[in-house]
Amino acid sequence: MKLGIVGGGQLARMLALAAHPLGVRVQALCARPEDSAGRVTSALFESGDRLRDLRSLAAESDVVTYEHENLDPHDLRSACESKPIGPPVRALELSQDRLLEKRFLRGLGIPVAAFVPVESREELECAVAMLGLPSILKTRRGGYDGRGQHLLRDDFDVSLAWSRLGGRPLVLEQLVSFDRELSLVVVRDRVGEVRCYPLVENVHVDGILRATLAPAADVDPRIQRLAEDYARRIVGALDYVGVLAIELFECGDELLVNELAPRVHNSGHWTIEGAETSQFENHVRAVCGLPLGSTRAHGTSVMLNLLGTLPPRDALLAIPGAHLHVYDKSEAPGRKLGHLTVCAPDRRTLAERLDHALRIVDRGVGLQRRLKLDGWTRSTSSV
Ligand code: AMP
């Protein structure tokens, strides 16, 4: 079995590392020889002709998947006419356009923040009058890691946001005053079997994921069931195959969907050591037509992204329960260079281990406070 992956970043790298023990050979379509995945698996290099590259990848693969959403759905469809693609191209199309995605979710009866499409300055004024301030103006396409969006608090922000984002199709969204940001990673196989990982809590700073606590603390079982119900509706409607990440806002006993990622996701990296089967292995299993593995968590974990520069490896590896993943990428401000997952059998031990890790990784972000771990060292409760 040969799996072709469109993209050569860290997600493709971790997919390849999970595929090898299953006897699944991987080929990644990389932009450059120094791409993260190119260092651990065989690579095809982009030639500048995207359609021809996708055709070459498909021709040499039994099944095709992708690690990012920055690709043309028409090219993918036509290149893979005779090969299975997972996740389905329809999911890719929805995730590329915030407006289509929100309408799709609303059509399934899944709550999202109130939104209004915006194409002109006049429409922006009307949308602001409808939703009120504060609200968030986002580009429909191409935004990620907090890019392509602007928080509007007053009229000055409205003008500034329009001067920065205007001219492109936009959507204005009501600002949600959430209690916390959660995400659910779900996997569906080719015969329709669905498994969900436990909800996790995500801490973003400036729109970039910094830390994931897995499972999220004290989740009401009703909220877990609600998230799984949304997940089943979404993957069922799309006849989905592979891993899907659903980003959520928890507001009291309400759960709103923020966005979907039709791929393995940064908030699922903890599953490599923290769950019985990682999201990467389950994605490979699903798209290759193999049975899914258990999504149960072992104990409790925190995943910390390592951005910009890598802290000393020795210091990180000296932390009990810590697992380091470096992506073999060159340093650049804000770039995701690796992650550290700290695992423990219970919360108290996790808090002690994290105390150690955050002294090295935190860099003034205040993750301990943001993860609300302060009381945990005294807590006697288990996971
Ligand atoms: P996004 O690119 O939509 O994932 O947004 C990046 C981050 O901005 C989210 O993880 C939230 O922290 C914040 N954010 C986005 N949309 C909203 C919203 N409607 N209300 C409150 N916060 C938001």
Task: Convert the pLDDT of each residue in 268-300 to its tens digit.
Answer: 999 999 999 999 999 999 999 999 999 999 999
Ligand 1, atom 9, lies closest to the CA of: 207
Ligand 1, atom 11, lies closest to the CA of: 207
Name the maximum alpha-carbon separation found in the chain.
59
Position in ligand 1 atom list of the atom nearest CA 202: 10
Position in ligand 1 atom list of the atom nearest CA 148: 2
What's the CA angle centered on 325, arms 322 and 146, to 5 degrees? Answer: 105
Ligand 1 mean position, distance from CA 251 (Å):
14
Give buried/exposed letters for 60-85 (b at 16+ CB in 10 A, else e). ebbbbbbbbbebebebbbebbeeebb
pLDDT of residue 145: 63
The CATH number that domain 180-370 falls under is: 3.30.470.20
Phi/psi-derived region of residue 188, left when phi > 0, alpha when psi is between -120 and 50, beta in every other case:
beta
For residue 311, give Cα distances in angstroms to 13, 308, 360, 373. 21, 10, 7, 22
Which residues have a Cβ under 8 Å from the Cβ of 310 and sit 6 or more positions away?
326, 331, 337, 338
Torsion angle of C-alpha atoms 138, 228, 12, 102, degrees rounded to 10:
-20
Position in ligand 1 atom list of the atom nearest CA 113: 19
**Given the structure tokens 């791929």, which residue do they identify?**
263
Q: What's the rounded Cα separation, in Å, for the pair 360 and 346?
A: 22
Q: What's the rounded Cα separation, in Å, for the pair 285 and 293?
A: 8
Pick 114-174's CATH classification: 3.30.1490.20, 3.20.20.140, 3.40.190.10, 3.40.50.300. 3.30.1490.20
Give the pLDDT means over successive 10-residue stretches in the chain (383 positions). Answer: 98 98 98 94 95 96 97 95 95 98 98 98 97 96 80 95 94 96 98 98 92 96 98 98 98 96 98 98 98 97 96 96 97 96 95 92 82 64 48
pLDDT tens for 23-76 read 999 999 999 989 999 999 999 999 999 999 999 999 999 999 999 999 999 999
The CATH number that domain 2-85 falls under is: 3.40.50.20
Tell whether ligand 1 has an atom less than 6 A from the beta carbon of residue 136.
Answer: yes
Q: What's the rounded Cα separation, in Å, for the pair 115 and 88?
A: 26
Tell whether ligand 1 has an atom less than 6 A from the beta carbon of residue 40.
Answer: no
Tell whether ligand 1 has an atom less than 6 A from the beta carbon of residue 99.
Answer: no
pLDDT of residue 228: 98
Which residues have a Cβ under 8 Å from the Cβ of 225 and sit 6 or more positions away?
none
Position in ligand 1 atom list of the atom nearest CA 143: 2
Best mutation site among 69, 97, 136, 150 for ligand 1 pocket (most ligand atoms within 8 Å of CB): 136
pLDDT of residue 380: 47
Closest CA to 237 of 74, 81, 116, 94: 94
Which residues have a Cβ under 8 Å from the Cβ of 40 and sit 6 or more positions away?
13, 16, 17
Ligand 1, atom 2, lies closest to the CA of: 146
Tell whether ligand 1 has an atom less than 6 A from the beta carbon of residue 113.
Answer: yes
pLDDT of residue 142: 86
Q: What's the rounded Cα separation, in Å, for the pair 291 and 189?
A: 7
Domain ranges for the chain, please list them: 2-85, 114-174, 180-370
Q: Backbone phi, then psi, for 60, in 5-degree steps?
A: -100, 10
Ligand 1, atom 1, lies closest to the CA of: 146
